[in-house]
Structure 1
């Protein structure tokens, strides 16, 4: 058996066949469809020992050629090493080719949830050996993500939820309810690990799960989680089309700027961008700013940059991120018919160099 932090693997046992129950069938069909759609046969599964990831692991063993489990021990609670070891034993008993326990240090800003997530995804990426990583996010998780995005009001990108496959992260269970993964564990005779954080009302997502969604289900007569998840799929499909249009627009705007008489270091051409519909234009600007190192792309900041394009009144630069040194920031300015970025001191004023 693995020891927490060892990075060693356990040998697989012959996989026992899961029972043929409705819950097992539902989860297996979801995983089978995902594997077929994306043409992969060997996968890594992120296993916590909870119901969702345990059900996913068993289904993946049944539907893929080889499954490697990675168990991340965040070491945030007493006994976390024992929980990780039990999950590794479960993976071995259910037929995983290997089960690796990785102990991590949870540090960094953004709160404990964000720091743990960053550490977890880094560990999974470093131990996936080039394989896609299957995550146990369910339809309920998708619905909660959409509600969180709605509450933040940061545009359609934040409410289109999680992707079924965002290389290397795969989510086969986005159409499966959490009750079904729990029932599958019961059918397997497996008692899943219950993370106490999942019942802590200090976390916004926990309150959404325990209070908001049940209230919406009651007021609206049921089916709310499915409706939210369906909305996420529709928004993601629409967003993919708009993103493709935005990529083409950005290429055209950069080409137009590069053909100008003073094209050294030029950003996208303002005239080309301004002629495009707002939704496409702002996506193109966002994509360009990400390549320039922007880190603070809120809806408000993007709309402020958009004002530089279509409602020019001589306004100053728009901050879109921190600079490489303390006390500096990355700003966007309008200059000679193009957008441009530069790093400036926070207290400094940037003089507009445009001849518009």
Structure 2
């Protein structure tokens, strides 16, 4: 091969870049919007939620590859980005502006910075920031007509999420961690390590921002990242993060099956009454405890309640045993549960005795279940 021919050869793709592109391609094929074809009209818009950190910046440059025209001349996707400025740190506006400039230099459009106000009433600072962030992303997706919003969470984030769930005594759904897809949100990097995204940024010559809150010991997730995970790796050997990720994969499949079964059981035992939602005693008593808890949680959700804690579900289930108090038991999100007794109005055949009744108890003005 002549020197001129060798110069024309396509540069070899770095394995790390190929790996991240494969993960995004796979996620789009399995869970995302269909790409544009020659006869499908406009390309769907993907919005990257980008903080300017290594994970989301690597996702942005990876997504940009799918922003390029294919061999048939059609762009399969349009790719834009949203930078959310929480305003919680000095210089946050400058960080957001720096992220915007990098994203635009990659060829993404539209790129928008959204500044939010973080209201922490009734929740911790991390939860309040997350609520404000997703509200901003929802609004941006609606404004631009995005088909999907891409999030840069990695395997390391998933492992940390599982440990958080374990520490809180959470159930199967929580221990399953973050799903690849939820609504319009897509997390294509959940099988990649954080170091993979850092390498991608370095290969592309990008300058990611290192969020100081990631190492701030005031936050539980930061302590897990900087203290707990390194301790587990030291004591148990390498591979702890991957093991936790595998556990999340298994539990996600289990949780999906159990939830589908619970939905079927809920339809069987559910009655709608003027009081709210009623769960028939006979049907509930035949269910195993895991199903009882899920059915009660589904009834609470139908009434606008929040996901009840294990202790509250236990208390509600105890009402079925027809001894002791008939309630009410208060569930999160302004929902109460009580057992029908002789003192309540029931059908003349007596079939309502012992049924569980869930009803919304109302909320103060300005409060919501978000």
TM over 0.5, shorter chain: yes
Give the superposition deviation at 1:279: 1.2
Alignment of 1:129-168 (within 5 A): 129-168=145-184
Which residue number corresponds to residue 6 of structure 1? none
CA distance in 1, matches of 2:66, 2:27: 10
Alignment of 1:35-54 (within 5 A): 35-40=28-33, 41=35, 42-54=45-57
CA deviation vs aligned residue, 1:74-120 (integer Å, no higher than 9, x gap): 11122211111111111111121210111111113212211111111
- Of residues 16, 22, 45, the one that matches 1:29 is 22
Change (3 A) 1:19 1:79: farther
Which residue number corresponds to residue 353 of structure 1? none
TM-score, length of structure 2 as denominator length? 0.81
Give the superposition deviation at 1:267: 1.0
Give the superposition deviation at 1:344: 6.5
Which residue number corresponds to residue 13 of structure 1? none
- Of residues 233, 236, 245, the one that matches 1:217 is 233
> Which SS does the other structure have where 1:306 is aligned?
helix
> Which SS does the other structure have where 1:148 is aligned?
helix
Specify every segment of 5 or more residues in structure 1 that has no aligned partner in the other structure, as ranges: 1-16, 324-329, 346-356
CA distance in 2, matches of 1:18, 1:82: 35
Change (3 A) 1:222 1:340: same
Which residue number corresponds to residue 132 of structure 2? 119
Segment drifting more, 88-97 vs 184-193 = 88-97
> Which SS does the other structure have where 1:294 is aligned?
coil
Which residue number corresponds to residue 193 of structure 1? 209
Specify every segment of 5 or more residues in structure 2 that has no aligned partner in the other structure, as ranges: 1-9, 36-44, 68-76, 341-351, 363-370
Contact 1:18–1:188 (CA under 8 A) maintained in structure 2: no
CA distance in 2, matches of 1:59, 1:106: 30
What is the alpha-carbon root mean square deviation over aligned residues?
Answer: 2.1
Which residue number corresponds to residue 253 of structure 1? 269
Which residue number corresponds to residue 56 of structure 1? 59
CA distance in 1, matches of 2:274, 2:128: 42
Alignment of 1:263-302 (within 5 A): 265=276, 267-295=278-306, 297-302=308-313
Task: Provide the aligned length of Structure 1 versus Structure 2.
Answer: 317
Which residue number corresponds to residue 87 of structure 1? 99
> Which SS does the other structure have where 1:127 is aligned?
helix
CA distance in 1, matches of 2:30, 2:221: 30
1:303 aligns with 2:314: yes
Contact 2:48–2:82 (CA under 8 A) maintained in structure 1: yes
Give the superposition deviation at 1:63: 2.8
Contact 1:70–1:99 (CA under 8 A) maintained in structure 2: yes
Give the superposition deviation at 1:264: 7.2
Segment drifting more, 228-237 vs 277-286 = 277-286
